[in-house]
Amino acid sequence: MINAAWIALFSPAAAVVLIALLGMRIRRFTAGLIAAGATLVSFVCSVIVFVTLLGEHPEERTHYSTLWTWLSAGSFKVGAQILVDPLSVFMMLVVSGVGFLILAYAVGYMHGDEQERRYHAYKALFVFSMLLLVQSGNLLLLLAGWGMVGLSSYLLINFWHFRATAVAAGKKAFIMNAFGDATFVLALFLLIQRTGSVDFRVVFKDGVLPHGGTIAVLVALGLLGGAVAKSAQVPLQTWLPDAMEGPTPVSALIHAATMVTAGVYLIARTNVLFELAPVIQHLAGVLGAITILLAGLIALVQTDIKRVIAYSTMSQIGYMFVGVGLGAYGAGLFHLMTHAFFKALLFMAAGIVIHALSDEQDIRRMGGLARALPRTYQAFIVGALALAAIPPFAGFFSKDAVLASAANAGTLGWILWGAGAVGAFLTALYTFRLLFIVFWGEMTPFAREHLHVRRFEGGLAMAWPVAVLAVLSTIGGFLQVPGAWAGVTDWIDPVAQSIEEASGTTFAFSLIVTLALSVTGILLAWRFWGRLSPVPERTRRRYPWAARTLEQKFYFDQAYDLVFYESSSRAGVLLTQYVEEPVFLRSLRDLGLGVRFAAGRLSTVQSGSVRAYALALGAGAAVIVLVFLLVS
């Protein structure tokens, strides 16, 4: 079983090496098959591991395996070590399963791109890194996977590197994540200082850190910094919308289904450390709640189809943060899973739309596409309903699991619940705004001119993964039905025992209110955008400052540019101008010039005049004699 886990990990890495070494000797299509095939191997292995674990007693489902010593210093040793337990297997299934579907879709989507091989290699590199992240048995290798998913994300955002926007977006994503890596690293140093190890078995042991102490708070804060950066939560959220510069399958896999949820995984995985610092754990929930509202509001004014979905991703991860921040790990991870299904579905449906309109992403140039792309439209409806948490679609069960748990968690829980409920309304509103604008109404002249629909609306390679995800988004929620069974929570409990769980009355209350809000959101969206209505435009004109604030994304970008980029850049320039150049580079030259000048003056002494020499000689001798007399 443990061998299967190792194979699951290294199969995509082998694909990277293979594609890189074969280079131009294979067809582009073959490169795609290698990457997707390797991911399928990972998925099959994950299933094998999962089935094996199912057969074991819940308390015995933890297996560590170390192949070699990765790093050492004195007595500090870190193994190339994986952990198989319910949580890691859960993530392996999501990553390799959804990953396989998206890689298969990408074979169709990227067909004809001249850099296709490079694309597939990067994609496989990502799957490897993500599996390393979720399978690692210690925090250092987890961080290695953590950094490498950031690297693959950079490479893929940057994929069309002749576009200035793509290059800037890639750098931004990488650097913001590097900031998260830095706080993560500092937390590890503190842990190592206290426990001498990064091994889960050591650092999660009871009593290694005092509960609620400064150390515990700092460790949790450092980890939270990493989680917030990776999961694009406030205040490190600004890179994610820009990351939409990458090809659409990348957005689906990395910036929706898997990588951006790594922060949720991290908090669930290190729940022991977060529970030692409840302040920080609650902070995670609060940041999640803020992100829900902030992203929901910004999504209302976005005009790029992928950016709307990106903001919805941020806000949905906000729900997951609320869940794990309040200790409802099962609910948070359940939402992670269903979100992976329906968000990948939405992105892939959006990708078909973008392809059909010659790579146009501006929704103002779309409209009336329901007739031209009926199946895509249906898939999009499924995704939208799941996202808006309408029963019986998957998002309904998982979002309500999160919100009901929050409603059960005291005052803070109620506040977060309130944010989540408002967020549910906003989610329904912006999601159906998108759906109505893109698929309803009349086709724009642009759409009429550029529309070209392929067989199966995007080709078979792209159609079938969408269909599979549509099915999963429809039925995936039944893994955990309130009052009946709790598949995900029960499965995760041995690793991350949920503190908060929904109970009868609060659950019913929460469910009814949020459902009502979601339906209201959809109806309102229909009222505004389902048929032509002057209301949105009038509102915008009446409150121009509000529209501007939302369109400028609450000015985070400008602030960060000023504080981080501009300050470093300015410091670099100033240091070069006023320190490096004059002090270090010119000083020696000036010294040299001084010496030369002095030597020039001195050389006039060598005039060749014998009388002058004799005079100097005599004067010198006189001085020596004088000194000699004085001293003696």
Q: Does 147 bind another protein (CB under 8 A)?
A: yes
Q: 6 vs 464, which CB is nearer to another protein?
A: 6
Residue with tokens 């990106």: 310
Q: Does 23 bind another protein (CB under 8 A)?
A: yes
Q: Does 153 bind another protein (CB under 8 A)?
A: no
Q: How far apart are CA 228 and CA 236, in angstroms?
A: 6
Cα radius of gyration rounded to whole Å, the chain: 31
* Strand blocks (E) in 141-239: none
Shortest Cβ 40–another protein spacing (Å):
24
Q: Does 584 bind another protein (CB under 8 A)?
A: yes
Exposed/middle/buried for residue 619 (C-beta within 10 Å: 0-12, 13-18, 19+): exposed
Strand partners, 480: 486
Q: How far apart are CA 288 and CA 314, in angstroms?
A: 9
Strand partners, 69: 79
At residue 57, φ and ψ (nearest 5 deg) are: -65, 135
Pairing label, strands 76-84, 485-486 = unpaired
Q: 173 vs 344, which CB is nearer to another protein?
A: 173
Measured between alpha carbons, how far is residue 55 from residues 5, 60, 179 in Å? 16, 10, 42
Of 2, 51, 516, 571, the one binding another protein by CB under 8 A:
571
Of 585, 605, 624, 627, the one binding another protein by CB under 8 A:
585
Q: Does 145 bind another protein (CB under 8 A)?
A: yes
Shortest Cβ 168–another protein spacing (Å):
9
Measured between alpha carbons, how far is residue 624 from residues 613, 614, 617 in Å? 16, 15, 11
Stretch that binds another protein, among 69-77, 333-341, 439-447, 608-616 (CB under 8 A): 69-77
Q: How far apart are CA 510 and CA 516, in angstroms?
A: 10
Q: 552 vs 569, which CB is nearer to another protein?
A: 569
Shortest Cβ 432–another protein spacing (Å):
38
Host H or E run for residue 7? helix 2-22
Q: Does 189 bind another protein (CB under 8 A)?
A: yes
Of 44, 167, 499, 547, the one binding another protein by CB under 8 A:
167
Exposed/middle/buried for residue 7 (C-beta within 10 Å: 0-12, 13-18, 19+): middle
Q: Does 364 bind another protein (CB under 8 A)?
A: no
Of 410, 592, 618, 620, the one binding another protein by CB under 8 A:
592
Q: Does 193 bind another protein (CB under 8 A)?
A: yes
Q: 164 vs 484, which CB is nearer to another protein?
A: 164
**How far, in whole angstroms, is CA 85 from its chain's centroid?**
23
Q: Does 74 bind another protein (CB under 8 A)?
A: yes
**How far, in whole angstroms, is CA 99 from its chain's centroid?**
15
HSE-up of residue 534 (Cα within 13 Å, Cβ side): 3
Single-letter amino acid, residue 54: L
Shortest Cβ 71–another protein spacing (Å):
5
Q: Does 625 bind another protein (CB under 8 A)?
A: no
Q: Does 628 bind another protein (CB under 8 A)?
A: no
First to last CA, the chain: 97
Q: Does 188 bind another protein (CB under 8 A)?
A: yes
SS3 of residue 209 by DSSP: coil
- Under DSSP, the state recorded for 335 is H
Exposed/middle/buried for residue 499 (C-beta within 10 Å: 0-12, 13-18, 19+): middle
Q: Does 576 bind another protein (CB under 8 A)?
A: yes
Q: Does 151 bind another protein (CB under 8 A)?
A: yes
Stretch that binds another protein, among 171-179, 405-413, 425-433, 509-517 (CB under 8 A): 171-179
Q: 68 vs 545, which CB is nearer to another protein?
A: 68
Single-letter amino acid, residue 598: A
Give 3-state DSSP helix, strand, coil % of the chain, rounded to 5.
Answer: 75, 5, 20
Q: 77 vs 540, which CB is nearer to another protein?
A: 77
Q: Does 572 bind another protein (CB under 8 A)?
A: yes
Shortest Cβ 399–another protein spacing (Å):
32
Q: 504 vs 592, which CB is nearer to another protein?
A: 592
The two three-digit tokens of residue 71, written as one number: 């790093």
Q: 68 vs 628, which CB is nearer to another protein?
A: 68
Q: Does 209 bind another protein (CB under 8 A)?
A: no
Q: What residues have CB less than 8 Å from 423, skipping those under 6 apart?
A: 289, 292, 293, 296, 315, 318, 319
- Under DSSP, the state recorded for 475 is H
Of 1, 47, 185, 453, the one binding another protein by CB under 8 A:
185
Q: How far apart are CA 332 and CA 214, in angstroms?
A: 27
Stretch that binds another protein, among 53-61, 179-187, 335-343, 410-418 (CB under 8 A): 179-187
Stretch that binds another protein, among 71-79, 283-291, 336-344, 348-356 (CB under 8 A): 71-79
Stretch that binds another protein, among 166-174, 248-256, 283-291, 336-344 (CB under 8 A): 166-174
Binding site for another protein (CB under 8 A): 20, 23, 68-77, 118, 129, 132, 140, 143-148, 150-151, 154-155, 158, 161-162, 164, 167, 170-171, 174-175, 178-179, 181-183, 185-186, 188-190, 192-193, 568-569, 571-573, 575-576, 579-580, 583-585, 587-589, 592
